[in-house]
Amino acid sequence: MKNTLVLENINISLTSIRSHLLRTILTILIIAIGIMALVGILTATDSIKYSLTKNFAMMGSNTFTIRNRSMNIHIGGGDQQEKRYEPINYNQAVEFKSRFDFPATTAIFYRATGIATLKFGTNKTNPNVGVMGIDENYLATSGDEVEFGRNFSTNEIYYASSSAILGASLVKDLFKNKENPIGQIISIGPGKFKVIGVLKSKGSSMGFSGDRACFIPISNVRMNFPRPNMSFNINVMAKRPELVDAAVGEATAALRNIRKVPVGIDDTFEITKSDNIAKMFIENIKIVTWSATVIGFITLLGAAIGLMNIMLVSVTERTREIGIRKAIGATKRVIRNQFLVESIVIGQLGGILGIILGILVGNVMSLIIGSAFIVPWLWILLGVFLCFGVALVSGIIPARKAANLDPIESLRFE
């Protein structure tokens, strides 16, 4: 009997919705926009978190980087200032690498430029190629792997060999006739370099592609891309993740000694763990999550007011119908439930539309940054419950008004 009554109420609700289609569609769209804002932006945020965690994890949780400046990653108008210290010169970096007596792999690298143009024959890249000077250990500490060819040898680093290792995208841009890139001579700016290796593709992240990197020996960078006060960076990869903290301590002591930092004076360099960078990004995009939540709730508040108005108008328009139902035996509870069900049906239709749109909008961001397709089950459940709550709150006053109508007065209503 109960199931029959519920089904009858749903059927009456759908009939009423069809009879007032335009205003019902508008209310459904308002609810859908609110849910879309919540689910869409939160899905996009999850995609960014997934991409950051995945890409920085490729460097390994046992890796940290030493540089002469801090990495201040923040969103908004904060007053944080980037800390900068005296450059870590090449001799200091080399001395650190030779003196660092710890079960770890140490690499020196330097970003020469981010606007290089590479040429092979008549083919050339856009002027947005990052050229990095590295040593023989860098690939092991950065998570990069050589797919074809080989890594730099110690001699090539020492003698500033004119050799290069290319990212996968650069190979496609330069060797369009499917030539074997290994052994080919390419131009990087004014210099000529022999290709000795091609990196495995890592895909794109956050709109940037790691496959557009070009590596040359760090000693060659010092000759061909000289700058005043060049500051070199150092990667350290401990043999095991549990040794990282000890490695950081050893590295701090060693570099303080090399840079002659007096006791009691703060470090004149920054040490950043690879997984901490992802955490810094994730921490700073919380403001986006909160903004999305506020926008979504404001929109849902507007939707709740709109839905309540529709239901109140519906009660007024159907006063005579309510009187007839009461005259033939419908109780207050039945009338109240009928209008509540109608409100909940409208709310859930808006919720379903909003969830679908939110997943699509959120995963557009996933597509842009090269992340995986995300189905945010938690936010889907939140959307369903929010729509139910909005419909319940919006429907309770009209439903009570309908249930409390006097049947005699309702039958006389014109």
DSSP string, 101-113: -SSEEEEEEEEEE
The pLDDT tens digits of the residues spanning 218-261 come to 999 998 888 888 999 999 998 887 888 899 999 999 999 999 99
Task: Please give the radius of gyration of the chain, using alpha carbons only, rounded to the nearest integer.
Answer: 32
| Helix axes of 21-57 and 332-369: crossing angle, nearest 10 degrees | 40
pLDDT band of residue 196 (cuts 50, 70, 90) is very high
The pLDDT tens digits of the residues spanning 121-161 come to 899 998 889 999 999 999 988 888 899 999 999 999 999 99
Q: What is the pLDDT of residue 395?
A: 78
- Phi, psi of 109, rounded to the nearest 5 degrees: -145, 165
At residue 23, does pLDDT exceed 80?
no
The pLDDT tens digits of the residues spanning 64-107 come to 899 987 655 444 545 455 667 889 999 999 999 999 989 999 99
DSSP structure class, residue 346: H
Cα–Cα distances in angstroms (integers) from residue 56 to residues 116, 215, 272, in the given order: 25, 19, 12
Question: What value does the mean pLDDT take over residues 273-297?
Answer: 68
Q: Are strands 213-217 and 129-134 parallel, antiparallel or unpaired?
A: parallel
Helix (H) or strand (E) holding 90: helix 90-99
Q: Residue ranges per domain, the chain? A: 2-54+286-411, 86-268
Contact between 394 and 347 under an 8 Å Cβ cutoff? The reply is yes
Q: What is the pLDDT of residue 2?
A: 55
**Which residues does 276 contact at the CB level (< 8 Å), separation at least 6?**
none
Q: What is the pLDDT of residue 54?
A: 61
Helix (H, G, I), strand (E, B) or coil at 198: strand
Regarding pTM above 0.85, the answer is: no
More confident residue, 182 or 294: 182
Cα–Cα distances in angstroms (integers) from residue 5 to residues 137, 219, 338, in the given order: 74, 82, 9
The pLDDT tens digits of the residues spanning 291-350 come to 767 777 777 777 777 777 777 777 777 777 777 777 777 777 777 877 788 788 888 888
Considering Cα of 94, then 97, then 98, then 100, what sign does the dihedral take?
positive
Contact between 344 and 391 under an 8 Å Cβ cutoff? The reply is yes
